[in-house]
Chain A
């Protein structure tokens, strides 16, 4: 038995697991900033997209079109390598953020998730029945109150499953930030691989951690769905 435990402790996956685990906080840090920021901005963009101001709606539509039509990797590289090569930006205050791979990652991830999130929320807002808005209006709700009490709560809880998908995609997307030398889990796994020449062990250790992170995310979204969709609960 002790021999068996020792063999586990000496195995490469076990050692790699803790090495990769040290990158977990960097991955989570990326998510902790870009997800809430992305959520708020996506809501605002969705409202702008459905608004009757043609210029605003069209600008946001083309922003969504460009971001959804290009790979995230291009966006990350554009911000990290592309913007950094412009002299004007290197001399401005923006450089304090853009010289750090971390902030480049946060900006790229936020820009990306806002485009996808805005499209999801737009679907939710447009799927609200007219009668609900009208009954709000008949009760004398102003525009802001209507938004806060009727449109947003219904829209958000309706799109929770698809927004949950987007959140999981974001967890997976953080791995791309490793390509800008930012040392999160994938970056560390790559470094281990370069050191030990044992690719499978390194990447499986990282894969298990990502699976765990996504599992937590799924549970979180399930909890939100359970809490905010009480009329859809199966057993109560």
Chain B
């Protein structure tokens, strides 16, 4: 049933292919998590400044993306993304055919999803900072820039780390949906291998174990980070 000999490295087995696929999953996760955090910061900013229009746009974005299945968002960006990019390029007078590669589309799609979750985490941890801190910083004569980087950011990071760890796990698991776009990550690799070897059980269990390793190891990393960042914050 479970064919161990098909998982060796080299030409006889699929070990090296799976290693590359795992690295691809990690790459997509890290890239989209980073881009997602960037988008999330913009979203949070749009929500907390006192402006009705930006707040409406940000709320609309988070509500819609979180209310629609991830698969649908990925399909929409995968099949509709090229058309959007080409119509934008047309505005700037570029009329040739543009095709985004699978990695770019995957990163953007997962980032758009992950940003909605990250933004909720970041917003909550921003609101958890007491107003007195910012007032104290102002009283010391700090300007906006240094208040943000020296007072707000360190505390937001500390408050947000557990939540961001959760978002990372969700993002990591969401990358499995990217397999529908043809990017060869763990899920796609296991489908390819099982189609060739006619042994889906072997390769799907391999995929499950790989995901389990990734989530467990990264969970440990986040635990260590949390401990590091809450130094001097003994409860």
A and B are partners in one complex rather than unrelated chains: yes
Q: B40-48, B99-107, B174-182, B220-228: which one contacts chain A? A: B174-182
Complex Cα gap A67–B64 (Å): 27
Number of B residues contacting the other chain (C-beta, 8 Å)?
Answer: 36
> Do the beta carbons of B212 and A69 come within 8 Å of each other?
yes
> Do the beta carbons of A73 and B72 come within 8 Å of each other?
no
Q: How many A-B residue pairs have CB under 8 A?
A: 111
A residues 134-157 in Cβ contact with B at 8 Å: none
B residues 37-77 in Cβ contact with A at 8 Å: 64, 66-72, 75-76
> Do the beta carbons of A175 and B199 come within 8 Å of each other?
no
Complex Cα gap A70–B190 (Å): 14
> Do the beta carbons of A77 and B173 come within 8 Å of each other?
no
Say yes or no for A103: interface residue by CB 8 A criterion: no
| Candidates A68, A199, A206, A207; contact of B64 at CB < 8 Å | A207
Say yes or no for A56: interface residue by CB 8 A criterion: no
Complex Cα gap A69–B208 (Å): 8
Number of A residues contacting the other chain (C-beta, 8 Å)?
Answer: 40
> Do the beta carbons of A214 and B67 come within 8 Å of each other?
yes
**CB contact under 8 A between A70 and B67, given known A78-B204, A86-B1, A203-B80:** no
> Do the beta carbons of B67 and A211 come within 8 Å of each other?
yes
**CB contact under 8 A between A200 and B204, given known A71-B174, A211-B64:** no
Complex Cα gap A172–B198 (Å): 31
Q: Which residues of A contact B153 (CB under 8 A)?
A: none
Contact mask for chain A residues 217-231; partner B; CB cutoff 8 A; 1 contact, 0 none: 000000000000000
Contact mask for chain B residues 208-235; partner A; CB cutoff 8 A; 1 contact, 0 none: 1001100110000000000000000000
Q: A8-16, A45-53, A91-99, A186-194: which one contacts chain B? A: A186-194
> Do the beta carbons of A189 and B215 come within 8 Å of each other?
no
Interface centre among A66, A69, A75, A176 (most CB of B within 10 A): A69
Q: Closest residue of chain A to B216, judged by CB?
A: A69
**CB contact under 8 A between A203 and B75, given known A66-B212, A211-B68, A215-B67:** yes
**CB contact under 8 A between A73 and B179, given known A81-B200, A210-B69:** yes
Complex Cα gap A84–B64 (Å): 36
> Do the beta carbons of A178 and B208 come within 8 Å of each other?
no
Say yes or no for B201: interface residue by CB 8 A criterion: yes
From residue A207, how far is it (CB to closest CB) to chain B in Å?
A: 5
Say yes or no for B184: interface residue by CB 8 A criterion: no
Q: Which residues of B contact A66 (CB under 8 A)?
A: 208, 212
> Do the beta carbons of A74 and B80 come within 8 Å of each other?
no
Contact mask for chain B residues 183-208; partner A; CB cutoff 8 A; 1 contact, 0 none: 00001001100100011110011011
Q: Which residues of A contact B177 (CB under 8 A)?
A: 71, 73, 176
> Do the beta carbons of A82 and B204 come within 8 Å of each other?
yes
Say yes or no for B79: interface residue by CB 8 A criterion: yes
> Do the beta carbons of A172 and B211 come within 8 Å of each other?
no
> Do the beta carbons of B69 and A69 come within 8 Å of each other?
no
Contact mask for chain B residues 83-95; partner A; CB cutoff 8 A; 1 contact, 0 none: 1000000000000
- Between A and B, 23 residue pairs with Cβ closer than 8 Å are A70-B208, A70-B211, A70-B212, A74-B176, A77-B190, A77-B200, A81-B204, A83-B201, A84-B200, A172-B67, A172-B68, A173-B69, A175-B72, A176-B71, A186-B69, A186-B71, A186-B72, A193-B75, A200-B79, A200-B80, A203-B72, A204-B76, A207-B72
